[in-house]
Amino acid sequence: MTILGLTGSIGMGKSTVAAMFADAGVPVFDADAAVHRLQGPGGGLVAAIEARFPGTTGAQGVDRAALGQAVLGDDAAMRALEAIVHPAVRAEREAFLVRHHDSPLVVFDIPLLFETGGERDMDFVVVVSASAPVQRERVLARPGMTLARFEAIDSRQMRDTEKRAHADFVIPTDVPLDETRAAVLRVIACVRDGQGR
């Protein structure tokens, strides 16, 4: 089995590209979706997060806005949250691999792949990228997003230029969708042939 790490900074179009891999028949593990399940109603992380960050959960699970306020700009709090979340996501990822053990290729959709050193566990890394103006426009169009919040999130992420430099493949998303889809199919073909870069 070949494991392809898919990553990209906020607003780069990673979810769109992940869906294209899935449409092409490649199983995709979505780390963000796993976190949402674990933090949702009855989720396995709700109690631990409430214990460490009182008042950030309720009947609907973790209140992401309240939790964001509790950790944003506080490195120690962010590390404490990551210490709760990352092991649980790793366990979900292992279960995904067991379910798809007969697949020749799988994709791990992980937003902070480089930032957490996760690229070491991948056979190849794909970075999804768009120009800075396109990224900014996409992010600021999200409900509840502010410039200050975008800048705080962006500051915690490795620069896009650095991610591209460390990638085996770069998929552009500031082009027509057909071009992005063609790039996804080229990556699949190259990986199946055992080629990188």
What are the tens digits of pLDDT across the range 10-59? 999 999 999 999 999 999 999 889 999 999 999 999 999 999 999 999 98
Q: Which of 136, 140, 115, 114 is nearest to 125 (CA)?
A: 114
Cβ atoms within 10 Å, residue 166: 13
Q: What is the structure's pLDDT at 189?
A: 94
Q: How far apart are CA 89 and CA 66, in angstroms?
A: 21
Write down the residue that tokens 């780390």 correspond to: 31
Q: Which of 194, 189, 184 is nearest to 127 (CA)?
A: 184
CATH code that applies to domain 1-27+104-196: 3.40.50.300
Is the pLDDT confidence value at 108 over 90? yes
Is the pLDDT confidence value at 98 over 50? yes
Give the mean model confidence (pLDDT) for residues 177-192.
95
Give me the chain's average pLDDT, please.
Answer: 92
Q: How far apart are CA 36 and CA 179, in angstroms?
A: 30
Q: Which residues are annotated as a binding site?
A: 11-16
Contact 52, 45 (CB under 8 A): no
Per-position DSSP letters for 126-153, written without gaps between them = EEEE--HHHHHHHHHTSTT--HHHHHHH
Q: Which residues are annotated as a binding site for ATP?
A: 11-16
pTM: 0.84
Q: What is the structure's pLDDT at 195?
A: 57
Is the pLDDT confidence value at 192 over 90? no
What are the tens digits of pLDDT across the range 118-139? 899 999 999 999 999 999 999 9
Query: Residue 113 is inside which H or E element, if any?
Result: none
Tell me where in the chain the CATH 3.40.50.300 domain(s) lie. 1-27+104-196
Residue 155's pLDDT band, with cuts at 50, 70 and 90, is confident
